[in-house]
Amino acid sequence: MDVNYFINEVITNLRKHTLAIYCGAGISYNSGLPIANQLLSCLYKTLQLDD
């Protein structure tokens, strides 16, 4: 898959509030990784999108 296509799809779905993140069962909050809504907020801020 073309990286630019992937990035554009992520941005499009963020704007439409239809992006889903699948992390799998091995991801734990205790591991220090952000939970899904924190990750989405970070993406909105980094990409300078309105949330």
pLDDT of residue 18: 92
Cα three-residue angle 14-40-35, rounded to 5 degrees: 145
Token readout for 50 is: 């309105």
Domain count, the chain: 1
pLDDT per residue as tens digits for the range 1-51:
688 998 899 889 988 989 887 766 666 677 777 777 787 888 888 888 765
- Number of Cβ within 10 Å of residue 15's Cβ equals 14
Which helix H or strand E contains 37, and what residues bound it? helix 36-46
Query: pTM of the prediction?
Result: 0.54
> In angstroms, rounded to a whole number, what is the distance separating the alpha carbons of residues 39 and 45?
10
Domain that holds residue 13: 3-47
